[in-house]
Amino acid sequence: MKKKQFKAESKKLLDLMVNSIYTNKDIFLRELISNASDAIDKLYYESLTNHKIKCKKEDFFIQVDVDKENRTLTIFDNGCGMDMEALENNLGTIAKSGSLAFKEENEKKEDISIIGQFGVGFYSAFMVSDHISVTSKAFSSDKAYCWSSSGAEGYEIEEVEKESVGTTITLHIKEDTKEENFSKYLEEYTIRELIKKYSDYIRYPIRMNVEHFHKNKDSEEEEKVIELETINSMVPLWKKNKKEVKKEEYDRFYQDKFMDYEVPFKVMHHSMEGVVDYQSLLFIPSHVPYNFYTKEYEKGLELYSNGVLIMEKCSDLLPDYFSFVKGLVDSSDVSLNISRELLQQDYQLRQISKSIENKIRKELENMLKEEREEYEKFFSMFGTQLKYGVYDQFGKDKDVLKDLLLFASSKEKFTSLKEYISRMKEGQEDIYYASGESTSKIALLPQVERVLEKGYEILYLTDYVDEFVMQTLMEYDGKKLKNVCVEDFNLDTEEEKEDLKKRNEESKDLLECMKESLEQEVLKVRFTNRLKKHPVCLTSEGNLSIGMQKVMNAMPMDEKIEAKLVLEINEEHPIVETLHKLYKEDLEKLKKYTKILYAQARLIEGLPIENPTELSTLISDVLIEK
């Protein structure tokens, strides 16, 4: 029989498993039992529509046997089984390429122990065994096959005899080493504990042959009896009474099911009766999933109908802005035979999804109110997703989300819009914001200086979605949201406005001349009194701010967009006098100075300089002439 090689990435993971330095080798059993349970789910679900399959829910079980003499541990299930092709595809390759990618990414960093908890599934059995055989018969097939492997050298598949549909996995347990006691996996006690610990909620009986000692009535002697016992309680965690479930149980359930190496940040367990009946068990992770902000991330909840899994990722159950929530929903109101397409139009499902959304929102609102620090932690991880929800679909959901938003400001590390308003100065009518790369950079913007000086608080927007959020919200509680870096932002009194207008008019020719020397770069050049010590700044006119221009141009689009720029010059700065003088005496030089001033303003805004060489020449010219 020919030995086959593992696919490259499988081999890598396999090597890791065989030579694992991971301390928690126990999890292999959980992985194999989960697979067995999934296989039974599949067969049961199939039987609901395929009447050729005759089986009853009560007939299903998983059995674990130990054989000390032969050093084997066997896991049996009467689930869907695998045919030749499935054995080849499932056990010769890694199904979850994500786990490997994650591992590679993180391996370098620190903790290799992560891998063991990361759904490496079947392969984890190689941590404790030196030979594995998988004998399986698929429900659709009349032939059975045996897959076997001793690890990295490869695997073999041969046809064998097996009467019933299902899978038997036999692990030959490694010999003990100085560091490692593998023989414990041949102890009934250990296996029993592991099943209790990791697989208690599995909904099919996990049976074991358990030794009991009975007193013989006649002889009064102790005698050994072996009885088949069901080890797990089989009650899914979500069907249990909330009061009876310990935090550790939720944590373990979450880590196991969603393959996370950290315990969840928040657990939400609900049992609803009313328009629709359902139980839900939802989690917010303690860290942002490594692929969360990529296209690969799929949102969704597991959907069960009365304890039977009918869909692994039902995306309709979660709005996009809560896509970070993981978990499951179980409802007797959802039909088992429902198809994926129908699901979307299903009335019951829509009710459930609405109700779940409310629950999550209330939980977050509550956290914001009662556990502020926790909420800030949460918001640092997933706040961007909530903000995205505000402007998504033209702001359809902005009202339900606006109170969940936090921003940095000139006064606070985190503030909600409501809190900002509560601190507003008397006479302040609008909410002010400015955007930039970091709060410290924003604080240095010349436009910001004056506003702060007048004692106003400014929201500091550093997230790329923030400005879109502001433009979608437009106002909060009747207060307009205003960017202090746009041209028409003005804190002046009528008198000051008039005065400035006059000064601009008086210098119309000079400003026009400056504008022309910048060719098409700016919409206009004008004097301003919004600046304190800086000579210049850039503002924008119209809906598109400079910040938004940056964000949009960073996206892969063919056409670059341009904000309408205004070069503003501090009317109180000594440079103004120089400009006037040059306008009279040396237009060439005025042109050069204007270009330098414009470049300065671009630099302050963090905009690129199109022609740095030209700028460098201009500056050295000025330096020489001095």
List interacting residues with ligand ADP (CB under 6 A): 31, 35-36, 39, 77, 79-82, 90, 95-96, 119, 121-123, 167
**Could you tell me how many residues make up the chain?**
626
Nearest Cα neighbor of 26 from 133, 210, 185 is 185
Report the residue number, 207 or 402, with the smaller CB distance to ligand ADP. 207
Q: Which is nearer to ligand ADP, 40 or 473 (CB)?
A: 40
CB of 37 to ligand ADP, least distance (A): 9
Residue nearest to ligand ADP (CB): 121
In the complex, least distance from residue 8 CB atom to ligand ADP, rounded to whole angstroms: 16
How many Å separate Cα 203 from the centre of its chain?
29
Shortest separation between residue 75's beta carbon and ligand ADP, angstroms:
8
- Nearest Cα to 355, choosing from 382, 331, 383? 331
* Dihedral sign for Cα atoms in the order 39, 44, 46, 51: positive
Q: Are 564 and 520 in contact (CB under 8 A)?
A: no
Which whole-number Å values give the CA distances from 569 to 419, 519, 576, 584, in the listed order? 34, 17, 8, 18
Residue 473, CA atoms < 13 Å, CB-side half-sphere: 28
We find the least distance from the C-beta atom of residue 419 to ligand ADP, in angstroms, to be 45
- Find the shortest distance in angstroms from Cβ 299 to ligand ADP: 19
Start-to-end CA distance of the chain, whole Å, equals 89
Q: How far apart are CA 23 and CA 151, in angstroms?
A: 19
Q: Between 37 and 570, whose beta carbon lies closer to ligand ADP?
A: 37
Nearer to ligand ADP, 34 or 428 (CB): 34
For the CB of residue 468, give the shortest distance to ligand ADP in the complex, in Å. 38
Nearest to ligand ADP of 261, 583 (CB atom) = 261
- Rounded Cα distance, 549 and 483, in Å: 14
Contact 284, 361 (CB under 8 A): no
Phi, psi angle pair for 321, to nearest 5°: -70, -10
Least distance (Å) between residue 251 CB and ligand ADP: 20
Nearer to ligand ADP, 20 or 167 (CB): 167
Closest CA to 204 of 312, 78, 80, 301: 78
Check if the beta carbon of residue 67 is closer than 8 Å to that of residue 187: no
Burial class (CB in 10 A: 0-12, 13-18, 19+), 457: buried
d(CA 409, CA 442): 10
Question: Which residue type, as a one-letter code, is found at position 246?
Answer: K
Please report how close the Cβ of residue 14 comes to ligand ADP at its closest, in angstroms.
11
**Which of 80/281 has CB closer to ligand ADP?**
80
Nearer residue to ligand ADP within complex by CB, 96 or 184: 96
Minimum distance from residue 309 beta carbon to ligand ADP (Å): 13
b/e for 55-89, b at 16 or more Cβ within 10 A? eeeeebbbbbbbeeeebbbbbbbbbbbbbbebbbe
Output 35 or 331, the one with its CB closest to ligand ADP.
Answer: 35
Please, which residue, 204 or 433, has the CB nearer to ligand ADP? Answer: 204
**Least separation, in Å, of the C-beta of 100 and ligand ADP?**
11
Q: Pick the closer one to ligand ADP by CB: 40 or 469.
A: 40
Q: Is the CB of 80 or the CB of 314 nearer to ligand ADP?
A: 80
Give the β-pairing of 278-284 and 266-272: antiparallel
Shortest Cβ distance from residue 42 to ligand ADP (Å)? 7
Largest CA distance in the chain: 127
Residue for token pair 């237009």:
587
Distance, CA of 301 to CA of 283 (rounded, Å): 10
And the tokens for 350? 């829509």
**For the sheet containing 408-409, what is the strand order?**
408-409, 458-461, 431-435, 479-483, 475-476
From the CB of 4, what's the least distance to ligand ADP, in Å? 16
CA distance 316 to 339: 13
CB 50 to ligand ADP: min, Å: 17
Nearer to ligand ADP, 119 or 446 (CB): 119
CB of 18 to ligand ADP, least distance (A): 15
Of 90 and 230, the one with the shorter C-beta distance to ligand ADP is 90
Judged by beta carbon, residue 41 or residue 449, the one nearer ligand ADP is: 41
Residue 227: strand pairing partners: 210
From the number of C-beta atoms within 10 Å of its C-beta (0-12, 13-18, 19+), residue 511 rates as buried
Letter for the amino acid at 153? Answer: E
**Residue 45 to residue 27: CA distance in whole angstroms:** 27
- Please report how close the Cβ of residue 402 comes to ligand ADP at its closest, in angstroms: 40
Burial class (CB in 10 A: 0-12, 13-18, 19+), 479: middle
CB 590: neighbour CB atoms within 10 A? Answer: 21
